[in-house]
Amino acid sequence: MIRDGADDELRSLLNAVTDMMIIKDAEGKWIDANEATLNFFQLQASDFVGKTTADVLAKEVIHPDNMKICEQGDAMAWSKGQAVTYEQTFMQPSGKRKHFDIAKVPVYYPDGRPKWLIVTCRDNTLRNLMEEEITLAVKVFDNVNDGIFVTDVEGTILFVNPAFTKVTGYTMDEVVGKNPRLLKSGRQGAPFYKIMWDNLTESGEWQGEIWNRRKDGRIYPEELTINAIKDINGATTHYIATFRDISEREQLRKEMMLTGRIQRKLLPSDYADERVSIKAFFKPSLYVSGDFYDYIWLCKDELLFGYVIDVMGHGYLTALQAAIGRVLFMQAAEQQLSLKDRVAWVNREVMRYFSEDTFAAGICFEFDFTTNTLSYVTCGINCFLAATRAYNGVVKAAGLFLGITEEAVFEQHDIPFQSGDSFYFMSDGLFDELAEESKAHLPPFAEMSERIKKKIYTQKYKDDVSVLAFSVQ
For 13-39, write each residue's pLDDT tens digit. 777 778 889 999 999 999 988 888 888
Count Cα neighbours of 404 within 13 Å in the Cβ-side half-sphere.
14
Averaged pLDDT for residues 138-148: 83
Question: pLDDT at residue 413 above 90?
Answer: yes
Question: pLDDT at residue 174 above 60?
Answer: yes
Averaged pLDDT for residues 208-232: 94
Q: Say which range, 65-79, 127-141, 350-364, 419-433, has the weakest mean pLDDT.
A: 127-141
Q: Say which range, 199-213, 306-320, 433-447, has the weakest mean pLDDT.
A: 433-447
Q: How far apart are CA 54 and CA 28, in angstroms?
A: 10
DSSP letter string, 94-136: TS-EEEEEEEEEEEE-TTS-EEEEEEEEEE-HHHHHHHHHHHH
Per-residue pLDDT of 420-455, as tens digits, reads 999 999 987 677 777 676 656 789 999 999 989 988
Q: Say which range, 65-79, 285-299, 432-446, has the weakest mean pLDDT.
A: 432-446
> Which residues are 194's β-sheet partners?
none
- The superfamily CATH assigns to domain 144-245 is PAS domain (3.30.450.20)
| CA angle at 63 for the pair 58 and 68, rounded to the nearest 5° | 105
By CB atoms closer than 10 A (0-12, 13-18, 19+), residue 71 is middle
Q: How far apart are CA 31 and CA 55, in angstroms?
A: 13
Q: Are 160 and 176 in contact (CB under 8 A)?
A: yes
Of 458 and 394, the structure prediction assigns the larger pLDDT to 394
Query: Alpha helices of 29-151 — where are they, by DSSP H?
Result: 35-41, 53-56, 64-80, 125-143
Question: pLDDT at residue 134 above 70?
Answer: no
> Which residues are 361's β-sheet partners?
310
Per-residue pLDDT of 244-277, as tens digits, reads 999 888 887 887 778 778 888 889 999 999 999 9
Averaged pLDDT for residues 271-288: 90
Q: How far apart are CA 159 and CA 137, in angstroms?
A: 14
- Asked whether this chain's domains 8-124 and 261-472 adopt the same fold, the reply is no
Report residue 371 CA to chain centroid gap: 57
Strands (E), 236-290: 236-245, 271-272, 276-283
Calculate what percentage of the chain has a pLDDT beyond 90.
Answer: 56
* CB proximity list for 9: less than 8 A, separation 6 or greater: none
Question: pLDDT at residue 59 above 80?
Answer: no
Q: What is the mean pLDDT of the chain?
A: 88
pLDDT, position 286: 76
What strand order describes the sheet that includes 413-416? 291-298, 303-311, 360-368, 373-379, 413-416
Q: How far apart are CA 273 and CA 370, in angstroms?
A: 16
Q: How far apart are CA 298 and CA 338, in angstroms?
A: 14
Is 8-124 CATH 1.25.40.10?
Answer: no
Per-residue pLDDT of 352-371, as tens digits, reads 888 878 899 999 999 999 99
Averaged pLDDT for residues 277-305: 89
Per-residue pLDDT of 390-410, as tens digits, reads 888 899 999 999 999 999 999
Q: How far apart are CA 442 and CA 440, in angstroms?
A: 7
Q: How far apart are CA 209 and CA 225, in angstroms?
A: 9
Is 261-472 CATH 3.30.499.10?
Answer: no
Q: Say which range, 6-20, 203-217, 419-433, has the weakest mean pLDDT.
A: 6-20
- pLDDT interval class at 7 (50, 70, 90): low
Domain boundaries, the chain: 8-124, 144-245, 261-472
By CB atoms closer than 10 A (0-12, 13-18, 19+), residue 462 is exposed
Per-residue pLDDT of 92-124, as tens digits, reads 666 677 788 899 999 999 999 999 999 998 888
Which of 250, 196, 251, 194 is closest to 225 using CA atoms?
A: 196
Q: Say which range, 30-44, 161-175, 198-212, 415-429, has the weakest mean pLDDT.
A: 30-44
Q: Say which range, 127-131, 372-376, 382-386, has the weakest mean pLDDT.
A: 127-131
Cα dihedral sign, 461-466-472-473: positive
Q: Are 189 and 195 in contact (CB under 8 A)?
A: no
Query: Alpha helices of 314-396 — where are they, by DSSP H?
Result: 316-333, 339-350
